[in-house]
């Protein structure tokens, strides 16, 4: 379904986040249970971290691309887009020119900025990528491309990169994860949920405030 209204966007994000929270709550309940042996707890912790990371990456990627779909369906012209979305729209044109040694490929890019900014924009679908490793650096890039405030996550860099991503990668690469215990998981769980809620709120606020629009006066004649 194409996301055409703010209500559709909000419903989509709420629905997707709800099932993720439900599954994560079930995992947390198992991790905190005292009915399992130490070895069984280790298995639950390893599984829990992987699932926690999967929902972290999965929701950020989905929410970002849902927002991109919403903006695309607003049928704005290029000159009506904020700079970050204009950069996304221009990504393929610039990429083709950059990957060659032919300066002539920049000519159509120049022509575009001279004459086509008043044309309806075409935004790439599913352009927001987490690169299968949603580090704080990748998250910052995503927020920049969406015009969101990354500073809300700046104090969480160590948590994202070391507690969540590094631990998940160690498990995915066959590590035993002996150093990660139940208390650490119980502390990590609400932090990740909080960041997912924050990201959802940022997108919904951006839609309400129409942050995707260029607020600068047009310079075209």
Residue-level pLDDT at 70: 96
The predicted pLDDT at position 215 comes to 81
Which pLDDT score, from 0 to 100, does residue 219 have?
Answer: 43
Instruction: Delimit the domains of the chain by residue range.
Output: 6-76+125-209
Can you give the pTM of this predicted structure?
A: 0.89
pLDDT along the chain (221 residues), means of 10: 92 98 95 86 88 97 96 93 90 70 75 82 86 94 96 96 92 71 90 98 97 70 35
**pLDDT for res 220:** 42
What is the per-residue pLDDT across 18-28, written as a single tens digit (0 to 9) for each? 999 999 999 99
Predicted confidence at residue 179, as pLDDT, reads 61
The three-state DSSP-derived secondary structure of the chain is: CCCCCHHHHHHHHHHHHHHHHHHHHHHHHHHHCCCCCHHHHHHHHHHHHHHHHHHHHHHHHHHHHHHHHHHHCCCCEHHHECHHHHHHHHHHHHHHHHCCCCHHHHHHHHHHHHHCCCCECCCCCCCCCCCCCCCHHHHHHHHHHHCCCHHHHHHHHHHHHHHHHHHHHHHHCCCCCCCCCHHHHHHHHHHHHHHHHHHHHHHHHHHHHCCCECCCCCCCC
> pLDDT for 25-77, tens place per residue?
999 999 888 888 888 888 888 899 999 999 999 999 999 999 999 999 999 99
């Amino acid at each position: 379904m194409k996301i055409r209204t703010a209500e559709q966007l909000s419903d989509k994000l709420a629905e997707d986040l709800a099932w993720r929270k439900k599954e994560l709550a079930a995992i947390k309940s198992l991790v905190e249970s005292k009915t399992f042996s130490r070895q069984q707890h280790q298995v639950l912790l390893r599984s829990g971290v992987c699932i926690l990371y999967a929902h972290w990456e999965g929701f950020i990627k989905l929410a970002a691309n849902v927002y991109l779909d919403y903006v695309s369906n607003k049928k704005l012209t290029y000159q009506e887009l904020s700079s970050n979305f204009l950069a996304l729209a221009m990504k393929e044109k610039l990429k083709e020119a950059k990957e060659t040694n032919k300066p002539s490929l920049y000519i159509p890019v120049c022509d575009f900025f001279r004459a086509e900014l008043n044309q309806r924009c075409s935004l790439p679908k599913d352009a927001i990528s987490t690169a299968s490793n949603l580090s704080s650096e990748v998250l910052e890039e995503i927020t920049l491309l969406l015009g969101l405030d990354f500073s809300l996550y700046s104090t969480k860099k160590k948590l994202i990169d070391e507690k969540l991503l590094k631990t998940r990668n160690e498990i995915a690469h066959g590590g035993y994860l002996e150093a990660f215990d139940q208390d650490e998981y119980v502390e990590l769980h609400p932090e990740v949920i909080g960041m997912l809620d924050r990201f959802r709120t940022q997108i919904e606020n951006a839609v309400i405030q129409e942050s995707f629009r260029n607020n600068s006066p047009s310079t075209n004649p």
